[in-house]
Structure 1
Amino acid sequence: MPAAIVTDSTAMLPASLAAERGITVVPLQVVIGAQVLDEGADGATPEVVAEALRAFKPVSTSRPSPAVLLEAYEAAARNGATEVLSIHLSGEMSGTFESAQLAAREASVPVLALDSRQVGVATGFAVLAAADALDAGGSAAEAAEAARCRAAASASLFYVDTLEYLRRGGRIGAAAALFGGALSVKPLLQIENGVVATLEKVRTAARALGRLEELAVQAAGERPVDVCVAHLASPDRAGQLAEHLTSRLAVNLSGREVWCGELGAVLGAHVGPGMLAVCVAPRS
């Protein structure tokens, strides 16, 4: 095993898929009141976070420490890896990438830390592109370039019922200047240059979801793509959107499914219940 891949739990890779591809996933933490939980099925789940937010409990998130990431790198080395590629969510949104850089300095094998400049499943798709490159015989540097290119080409579009949660977490980025205190607006947002940025604003949820669908179709264009619909406590709307995109992007998908699932707990803590997102990731 010449190279190993490490990522974090915000990449939303199903545990079975990560295991199948040999990808190590390091959890971020969710802090609810005084309780600190690792993101994952046995700790902080989307349901736990949504319930806490609805109950107005204090919810925050925390990056993995450099020591935790270093242990992941050393475990890979013990399993035979001669180098490690560590791919993480945007460094503008989390200190996870910084932890990876710090841990890389102490590792016994070379570690290439990569800031995907993305969040959620867009980071996950980048990780899978890196795994594909390694499986094809590429080096860690070549796999990093594959991940970087796919992340840069991906569109991460999302709708939130309210900007309040993004405001609380200080992650609203450029959107704050545009919307200010106008929390009655139904905003469509995107990840741009690693931060949350305003895409459009509409007055009703139904109109926002319709626009989200149109924007996803536009993002796909004529290219083959992978598509994911993610939500927090909004399964019906997410399922409907996934169904529409499966139909409208049938040619782009070539029989692949639109993956539809609940947003991870860490990202969910910053967007709140009712959030709906689409990631459109072009295939090479």
Structure 2
Amino acid sequence: MSGRAVVVTDSTASLPPEVARARGIVVVPLQVVIGASVYDEGPQGATPEMVAEALKGFRPVSTSRPAPAHLAGVYATIAAQGASEILSVHLSAEMSGTYESALLAARESPVPVTVVDSRQVGIATGYCALSAVDVLDAGGDVAAAAQAARRRAELATTLFYVDTLEYLRRGGRIGAAAAILGGALSVKPLLRIDEGRVVNLDRVRTSARALSRMEDLVVETAGSRAVDLCVSHLANPDRAGALAGRLAERLAANLDGRDVWCGELGAVLGAHVGPGMVAVCLAPLLGGAPSAQE
């Protein structure tokens, strides 16, 4: 990384580890607190399975941002390895204090740090980081890479179904969707990320209808654009896999041979949505930019 800019993101960006490594993206973990134990998010710490099991067992689960001092240490290490600048891309500041931690850490960095609030969550933030790397790899500067990250975030659509709003309510992440609490807890909520917050999109009577509605909305939103697509879930692999398969067929022309990513949601986001959640992120490609999988 000597002499060049480096992209940093956080673990909620849900990038496959091999993709982050291949693209030179540094991933900083958020933390999950289960009972009295604190874990870094990741395969060697808090896993989606641990979170799902704890939630099902009614054990207390919470999450926390990286401390500014920790991020400052990451920036210092990257600088010591020869980086000339850092672009730090993180999940919505409306949902987490990670962006604030990054701003505070940037003040202590020995090299310039540009911090981007993606105003997204999950793989949508990951796609922002990938678009930033695309620009840097093509010879662009950090300002252009940050602009690409923000533009990719604006284009992305994140929809998700949850079995219940209870976990979002507990974590205080429900935002404008609070308007459908109460009686709505007996229906199946379909939600989306809008301006960095969770908002209500629709209410249906069954999970099958919710997933069907989400599928149709994703296809409608894609239109004729070239896209990257990811289906995520927490403890709901069969339904997520089936949805990914149907979307791969219906959006074959949009994907142009690119795979639909499908996997379990990370532990931090999983703690706020609960078991059974299924999400779809549709991220149109930027003009002339490589896809996430190239």
Q: TM-score, normalised by structure 1?
A: 0.99
Map 1:53-72 onto structure 2 (within 5 A): 53-72=55-74
Match of 1:85 in 2: 87
Match of 1:29 in 2: 31
Read off the aligned partner of 1:233 and give its amino acid letter: A
Read off the aligned partner of 2:86 and give its amino acid letter: V
Q: Deviations over 1:62-119 (max 9, x none)?
A: 0000011111111111111111000000000000000000000111111001100000
Residues of 2 paired with 1:67 and 1:38: CA distance? 15
Read off the aligned partner of 1:67 and give its amino acid letter: A
Q: CA deviation at 1:185?
A: 1.3
Read off the aligned partner of 1:147 and give its amino acid letter: A
What 5-or-longer segments of structure 1 have no aligned partner?
Answer: none
Which of the numbers 249, 252, 260 marks the counterpart of 2:251?
A: 249
Residues of 1 paired with 2:150 and 2:273: CA distance? 25
Q: Deviations over 1:204-250 (max 9, x none)?
A: 11100100100111111110000000000000000000000000000
Match of 2:236 in 1: 234
1:18 aligned onto 2:20: yes
Identity, % of aligned pairs?
Answer: 68
Match of 1:213 in 2: 215
Residues of 1 paired with 2:5 and 2:32: CA distance? 30
Residues of 2 paired with 1:185 and 1:93: CA distance? 24
Map 1:1-284 onto structure 2 (within 5 A): 1-284=3-286
Match of 2:289 in 1: none
Residues of 2 paired with 1:96 and 1:195: CA distance? 15
Q: State the superposition RMSD in angstroms.
A: 0.7
Q: CA deviation at 1:179?
A: 3.3
SS at match of 1:107: coil
> After TM superposition, where is structure 1 displaced by more than 2 Å over at least 4 residues in a row?
178-182
Cα contact 1:224–1:253 (8 A) shared by 2: yes
Q: CA deviation at 1:181?
A: 4.5
Q: CA deviation at 1:178?
A: 2.9
Q: CA deviation at 1:156?
A: 0.2
Cα contact 1:6–1:72 (8 A) shared by 2: no
Cα contact 1:101–1:113 (8 A) shared by 2: yes
